[in-house]
Amino acid sequence: MSEQRVLVVGGGLAGLACTMKLAELGVKVDLMSLAPVKRSHSACAQGGINSVNGLTRQQGDNEWKHFDDTVYGGDFLQHQPPVKEMTEWAPRIIDLMDRLGVPFNRTQEGFRDQRRFGGTLYKRTAFAGATTGQQLLYGLDEQVRRRKAEGLVSMYEGWDFLGPVVDDQGRCRGAVAQNLVTMQIRTFKADAVVVASGGCGLLYGRSTMSMACNGSAVSRCVQSGAKYGNGEFIQVHPTAIPGADKLRLMSESARGEGGRVWVPRTPQDSRAAADIPDDERYYFLEERYPEYGNLVPRDIATREIFDVCVNDGLSVESGKQCVYLDLTHIERSELDRKLGGILNIYEKFTGENPRDFPMKIFPAVHYSMGGMWADYVRTAEGGLDPGNPVNQQTHVPGLYAIGECDYHYHGGNRLGANSLLSCIFTGLFVAPGVKAGIESLGAGATDEQFDTLHQKTLAAKQAEHDALLKQAGDDGENPYEIHHLLGEEMTKAATVVRRNDQIEAALGVVNDLGERAKRCSLSDTDAWTNQNVVFTKSLRDMFPLAKALLKGALARDECRGAHFKPDFTMPGLTSEEPAERRRQAESWCDAFEEKNKKWLKSTIATFDDAGEPTISYEEVDTSLIPPRPRLYGLVGAEMIEEVWKERQAVKEAEPAAV
Amino acid sequence: MIAPNKDLAKPATFDVRVLRQAGPGRESKWERFRIPYEPNLNVISVLQKIARMAKTAAGEKTAPVAWDCNCLEEVCGACTMVINGRVRQSCSALVDRLLEEKPGEIELRPMSKFPVLRDLVVDRQRMFRALERVDAWVPVDDYLDRGPGPKESQEAQEGRYPLSECMTCGCCLEACPQYTKVELTREPGETDDAFEARRQAAHDGSFLGAQAISQAVLFNDHGTGKMLGDERMEALMGPGGVHACGNSQNCVAVCPKEIPLTTSIARAGRQVTVYSIKKFFDR
Ligand SMILES: Cc1cc2nc3c(=O)[nH]c(=O)nc-3n(C[C@H](O)[C@H](O)[C@H](O)COP(=O)(O)OP(=O)(O)OC[C@H]3O[C@@H](n4cnc5c(N)ncnc54)[C@H](O)[C@@H]3O)c2cc1C
Ligand code: SF4
Ligand code: SF4
Ligand code: FES
């Protein structure tokens, strides 16, 4: 057999970690990315990366608790074995990144410093200034460059992945891609393709994500037979700086380091923030969630900020929705040392200094929990079988999904600082399995027998491209305008609060926009560095994902994680009378169990040739930690918890039913 | 930082002049666009508006301007261009400020030290190649579990951290009088590989520039990274090494990350001196 190669699509943390590990194992890798890999979206991550560590261990923390926080935070919508494996790897991953030279912040004594992030009570988060993602990305980028210099890795930066090449047996044998400068289309022969193309924030027009996060690569895979899981779960980050071109994140670490969220009790109080006395400020997170305060998980913080602005009418400004995120009570030198980077972002893009004035922030779309469906093989202990080629493989054999574009790990909601971890983990973990997988193949993709397959795929893509260029004309649709409208519709119908009538209406609008996108005419018909044509292709490919997202959200009549439907909330207890209160708690738990029976399932979208999604469901492996209600801030939480625990105890005492 | 002057009268529209070039080796020409004023615009949102209009100020149809960007928050390094005569990131270039500097008009040009691919998009491969020239990485044995990296003082971390924020944007190189453009054209019948090899050779003989020198210093400061110190010294001493720097300090003035580049260059110079003396006596 001829030499075997792997193609990695995407050079963020996940793609780089995978490339680096494959190269270490002696596998030759082609690494493809829209942007130079060092410019990938992962560079934007500010806050940090989670793992249990020496310090938290002494406070009673362990891998199991990190695992538990992750599945609880994700509202139990994750298969538990991959998550367990990830949290077990976490401490080793931070150590590895430390060895690679990532300049993590240090304590006086020279150990790595840690901070607290939302959704946990321990200081689990390692960080490097306020640019942890940038530093981790560079650490991996440097290793990949080293492997490139050794000749194990070839770089294809500035290439747009147009889709996998799938043979008659349904196995992935490579990919077809287009050069962004020369516009050349060619195929890449590969015995496995690992897609690490990140999230799809651009479905919403503006988000905290980068311009390359348009979901195009994923959409092209699902249109070739891969499936899409949990599309409706989109994380809306509680704190972002609203901007004309982008919503820039204000990291959760601003709250982690003591930032306080508040609004004036008087609506649109015209006084300067500093002139408003403490008792006239409404620290609503601290009041509503005394235990977690400003560090409640993201979905809760997001909804509360939305609620205070939209429902209570307490937005700081009258024309614009926003609340204060206040750091002015913290000493400047400490702020500069720990948060300098993110504070500079605020200052740079708004012209105001957050060390002197509280920042004005509002929620923004931030992370795609959903993504390509990927498989795994579980061990008897409940972890993953290392080196098994099935781990992270999509429905198309030989096609893998890792990082933000796979659907594992975060469930209904992502815990802060867990994504960088999942990206590096999946990248490292998948490599030995990919190697084992390609070694077991009878024939390699570079064998002659696949030549015609590659030629055929190439010709088809070339024809599509040529047809698109010919569509030029004055009367066609403008792709940028359509993207703008799509973003507006998605933001309105499928972010913080979701209502079925709105989602249904949005589906109609999105369908129309999808039709219009087919009639786009290009204002640029050049055969050289044509960004117009690249954008139009990615725009068209946004529609299958947008529809899957909306359809999934429409069907899911419950509240879970980031998916919140006010019509299906489960209100807290109303009675103060102990017996009645207990009875209410009993029926609350009954209702919760009913709801889980129906909805504790992953949404799986399958796509037809036209890109139309059909929704089905998949059982979730919750065998390690039984699901329990997520009770942050609910009235009567203690009583519900008591009843719930009693029921669990009874269940455990029963002989296991077969 | 000064807050934008909110009292200044805002225009109804403003003009953007863009130096355009259809491809490598093609001639360049100016094109003017008229943009309706809105508060809080940056150069990226202006370019997005141009893409939507695709019409010049005179109302003529034209192709959208090509430009590079990704993060839109000044951390990826993609969107560097020359704005009103100064090299900088376009995502953090706020229109209000630019109009204060020069009322009525904004001028956009591609960087001049790198080959233009189209309009404002340039080819910065040479910068990434420079990182290979100085072995800008930590040479670990493997990616297995071997415990944490070397212990590091707060002071050392605070020294390394700013250098590791370099986003390979190229501002420092655009501003540098010693850094000159390397642009090759393909010879008839030349293969991709042959062209690439010729280009690499041309890059390898040219000035490294402040960015790569500073990265060499960064890795010499790391406990494990310094084990490649000698190799890095050879690169810094060789053709296009640190001696080519004329010490004009332009680089440090334009770096958007405020990286202490001249300190790095001075340190690299000293390390090279020490290394050559050592090498002389080791002969
Ligand atoms: C502002 C911000 C801050 C964050 N902070 C944190 C944090 O503190 N902690 C944390 O854990 N997480 C954080 N996250 C989330 C985290 O940054 C991302 O989930 C993670 O970086 C995703 O990495 P990735 O490797 O999956 O993909 P990315 O880094 O998005 O990389 C995707 C790659 O795919 C390539 N690509 C995409 N489409 C194509 C195509 N069609 N063809 C070829 N290549 C393609 C791109 O060029 C890129 O190289 C943050 C996210 C944001 C938006
Ligand atoms: S100090 Fe050296 S590197 Fe910096 S601009 Fe001047 S000549 Fe260039
Ligand atoms: S040193 Fe500064 S100016 Fe130069 S490439 Fe790095 S970030 Fe850009
Ligand atoms: S777009 Fe990333 S630096 Fe400007």
How far lies B169's CA from each of A242, B17, B255, in Å? Answer: 25, 22, 9
Nearest to A525 by CA among B19, B16, B50, B22: B22
User: What are the catalytic residues of A?
Assistant: 298
Most informative mutation of B92, B126, B129, B211 for ligand 3 (most atoms within 8 A of CB): B211
Q: Is B82 in the pocket of ligand 2 (CB under 6 A)?
A: no
How far lies A88's CA from each of A15, A85, B23, in Å? Answer: 21, 5, 51
Q: Which residues contact B164 (CB under 8 A, 6 or more apart)?
A: A103, A128, A135, A138, B218
Question: Which pLDDT does position A472 carry in this prediction?
Answer: 66
Report CA(A176)–ligand 4 centroid distance (Å).
28
In angstroms, the CA A486 to CA B126 distance is 39
* Nearest atom of ligand 1 to the alpha carbon of A35: 47
Give the position of tokens 């094109």. Answer: B31
Question: Which pLDDT does position B198 carry in this prediction?
Answer: 96
Residue spans of chain B under pLDDT 70: 1-9
Taking an 8 Å cut-off on Cβ atoms, the answer to whether B118 and A528 are in contact is yes
Taking an 8 Å cut-off on Cβ atoms, the answer to whether B148 and A36 are in contact is no
Residue type, A505: A
Q: Which residues contact A251 (CB under 8 A, 6 or more apart)?
A: A46, A47, A130, A239, A339, A342
Question: Which pLDDT does position A470 carry in this prediction?
Answer: 87
Taking an 8 Å cut-off on Cβ atoms, the answer to whether A244 and B45 are in contact is yes
Classify A652 as helix, strand or coil.
helix
What's the gap in Å between the CA of B281 and the closest CA on chain A?
A: 31
Taking an 8 Å cut-off on Cβ atoms, the answer to whether A244 and B40 are in contact is yes
Cβ pair A566, A310 in contact under 8 A? no
Size of interface A-B (CB pairs under 8 A): 193
Question: Which pLDDT does position A658 carry in this prediction?
Answer: 47
Taking an 8 Å cut-off on Cβ atoms, the answer to whether B52 and A480 are in contact is yes
* Nearest atom of ligand 4 to the alpha carbon of B71: 2
Most informative mutation of B126, B261, B265 for ligand 3 (most atoms within 8 A of CB): B261
Cβ pair A175, A185 in contact under 8 A? no
What's the gap in Å between the CA of B160 and the closest CA on chain A?
A: 7
Other Cβ atoms less than 10 A from the Cβ of A435: the count is 21
Residue type, B230: D
Provide the sign of the torsion angle of the four alpha carbons A365, A371, A377, A378, taken in this order: positive
- Tokens representing residue A548 in the block: 């899957």
User: pLDDT digit string (tens) for A219-251?
Assistant: 999 999 999 999 999 999 999 998 888 999 988
Touching check for B6 and chain A: CB below 8 Å? no
Q: Which of B45, B70, B156 faces A212 most closely, judged by CB atoms?
A: B70
Burial label for A254, CB within 10 Å (0-12, 13-18, 19+), is: buried
Give the position of tokens 């206040």. Answer: A326
Which residue does chain B place closest to A478, by CA atoms?
Answer: B52
Q: Strand locations in A428-567, DSSP E?
A: none
Question: Which pLDDT does position A118 carry in this prediction?
Answer: 64
Nearest to B64 by CA among A236, A508, A480, A395: A480
In angstroms, the CA A367 to CA A72 distance is 18
What pTM was computed for the model?
A: 0.95
* Phi/psi at A332 (5° precision): -55, -45
Q: Is B70 in the pocket of ligand 2 (CB under 6 A)?
A: no
Question: Which pLDDT does position B8 carry in this prediction?
Answer: 54
DSSP H or E segment with residue A452:
helix A451-470
Report CA(A44)–ligand 4 centroid distance (Å).
10
In angstroms, the CA B245 to CA B248 distance is 8
How far lies B4's CA from each of A305, A351, A495, B7, B95, in Å? Answer: 28, 7, 33, 9, 10
In angstroms, the CA B94 to CA A425 distance is 38
Give the position of tokens 């703008």. Answer: A484
Cβ pair B168, A185 in contact under 8 A? no
Q: Which residues contact A456 (CB under 8 A, 6 or more apart)?
A: none
Taking an 8 Å cut-off on Cβ atoms, the answer to whether B76 and A145 are in contact is no
User: pLDDT digit string (tens) for A550-602?
Assistant: 999 999 999 999 999 999 999 999 999 999 999 999 999 999 999 999 999 99
How far lies A162's CA from each of A14, A178, A370, in Å? Answer: 20, 7, 21
Question: Which pLDDT does position B2 carry in this prediction?
Answer: 46
Residue spans of chain A under pLDDT 50: 658
Residue type, A490: M
Cβ pair A275, A265 in contact under 8 A? no
Q: Is A69 in the pocket of ligand 1 (CB under 6 A)?
A: no
**Protein residue with least CA distance to atom 4, ligand 3:** B172
Residue A484: list chain B partners with CB under 8 A. 52
Nearest to B33 by CA among B17, B52, B12, B9: B17
In angstroms, the CA A146 to CA A307 distance is 50
Q: Which residues contact A423 (CB under 8 A, 6 or more apart)?
A: A12, A13, A14, A17, A42, A196, A402, A403, A404
Q: Is B246 in the pocket of ligand 2 (CB under 6 A)?
A: yes
* Phi/psi at B11 (5° precision): -75, 160
Burial label for A550, CB within 10 Å (0-12, 13-18, 19+), is: buried
Length of chain B: 283
CA geometry: angle at A117 spanning A114 and A120, to 5°?
A: 105
Q: Which of A112, A138, A526 faces B22 most closely, judged by CB atoms?
A: A526
Question: Which pLDDT does position A244 carry in this prediction?
Answer: 81
* Nearest atom of ligand 2 to the alpha carbon of B249: 1
Other Cβ atoms less than 10 A from the Cβ of A115: the count is 18
In angstroms, the CA B63 to CA B56 distance is 9
Mutate to test the interface with A, among B55, B61, B164 (most CBs of A within 10 A): B164
In angstroms, the CA A353 to CA B11 distance is 26
Residue B1: list chain A partners with CB under 8 A. 347-348, 351, 353
Residue B156: list chain A partners with CB under 8 A. 106
Distance between alpha carbon A604 and the CA centroid of its chain, in Å? Answer: 17
Burial label for A445, CB within 10 Å (0-12, 13-18, 19+), is: buried
CA geometry: angle at A418 spanning A557 and A231, to 5°?
A: 30
Other Cβ atoms less than 10 A from the Cβ of A287: the count is 10
Taking an 8 Å cut-off on Cβ atoms, the answer to whether A523 and B64 are in contact is yes
Q: Strand locations in B7-102, DSSP E?
A: 13-21, 28-36, 80-83, 86-89
What's the gap in Å between the CA of A351 and the closest CA on chain B?
A: 5
